[in-house]
Amino acid sequence: MSTVVPSGKNIQRNWYVIDAGEMVVGRVATEVARILMGKHKTTYTPYIDMGDHVIIVNADKVRLTGKKEDQKLYRYHSGYPGGLREVAAKRMRQTRPIKILEEAVSGMLPKNKLGKQMYRKLNVYAGPQHPHQAQTPQALSL
């Protein structure tokens, strides 16, 4: 009996839609990262992008537990001296609500070219509508 090693040529990719309304950020992000990596498939291979496409809707209604709404900070740097910027989670929810879920999912993916390729299959929308009806996504309940 020989072992079948999958190649990147004949990968079957599905589309899933997840309603994140009133769900906890971390719990949604772990499941989404698992699907983007392809760990839910029996043919999972760590060095090949085997994952599926994920659409997240209602990202503006996602929950943060504990005191994270007031205490959590999102940091980024402009590249210039003294260019560190900090944005509180409450302010992030008002200005860019989809960024909360995007940051959580990207933090759970590999930090290399493969991880960037997996991240490109994620689509996050603040409201209940999305423009991917042509791909016939399957509703996924978490």
* Token code pair at residue 5: 């090693």
Cα–Cα separations (whole angstroms), residue 85 to 38, 82, 94:
34, 9, 17
- Output 110-113 pairs: Cβ under 8 A, ≥24 positions apart: 110/37
What pLDDT does 1 receive?
77
Domain regions of the chain by residue span: 15-64+98-139
* Total number of residues shown for the chain: 142
Q: What is the pLDDT of residues 41-74, one digit of tens each?
A: 998 999 999 999 999 999 999 999 999 999 999 9
What pLDDT does 69 receive?
94
Q: Are 104 and 25 in contact (CB under 8 A)?
A: yes
**Once rounded to an integer, what is the mean pLDDT over residues 97-105?**
97
Q: What is the pLDDT of residues 116-137, one digit of tens each?
A: 999 999 999 999 999 999 999 9
Where is pLDDT greater, at 111 or 10? 111
CATH number of 15-64+98-139: 3.90.1180.10
Supply the pTM of this predicted model.
0.92
The partner residues of 53 in beta bridges, in order of sequence, read 15
